[in-house]
Amino acid sequence: TFDSTRGFPGEGPKQLVVTTANITSAGSIKQLDLDRSSLWCIQEHRLTDENTTAIRYTLKNQGWCTYMAPSLATTTSTSGRVGFIWQPNITLACEPQSLVKGRLALIIIKTARWGNINICSLYGHTGNKSATMNTKLFEYLMGHAMVSKNLFAGGGDWNIGL
């Protein structure tokens, strides 16, 4: 039977959609169709600190929140930055954080139905043919997920050759 206090089908909250994007492959954050997702896990954006501030300002004016973790400095450039872009209607349990500099970031969202959900953005090590560094990164991610006892999802660019 119909209950007028519960609304009609489709009137509830929008579905949460989580998407991952390697920005070097995409070309630029500006080339993403941000409206296709509620929360973006970002890898390899290579933004400098100045550019991070500029893109944060631009995205805020477009109605988005951002977190871009610190990058790894190399002899020639910056590498490995990870982060998140999300819609402001998503409630966070705490500030996003960098778990492994330049490689692994965590955002924890609050949901009414499922409680807190941990979402990780991971960018694997390149040039690691045996994949031992990426295996350690994955084990760290899984250990962190299991200790928290929250639901979790991980997205990213693993950089493992076959």
pLDDT tens per residue across span 19-74:
998 887 777 888 889 999 999 999 887 777 777 788 889 999 999 999 988 776 66
Helix (H) or strand (E) holding 135: helix 132-148
In angstroms, rounded to a whole number, what is the distance separating the alpha carbons of residues 77 and 10? 47
34, 17 Cβ separation under 8 angstroms: no
User: Cα–chain-centroid distance for residue 105?
Assistant: 7
pLDDT value, residue 108: 95
46, 79 Cβ separation under 8 angstroms: yes
In sequence order, the 6+-apart residues with CB closer than 8 A to the CB of 148 are: 116, 118
Amino acid at 5: T
Could you give the 3-state DSSP secondary structure of residue 83? Answer: strand
pLDDT tens per residue across span 75-126:
666 666 899 999 999 999 999 999 988 889 999 999 888 899 999 999 887 7
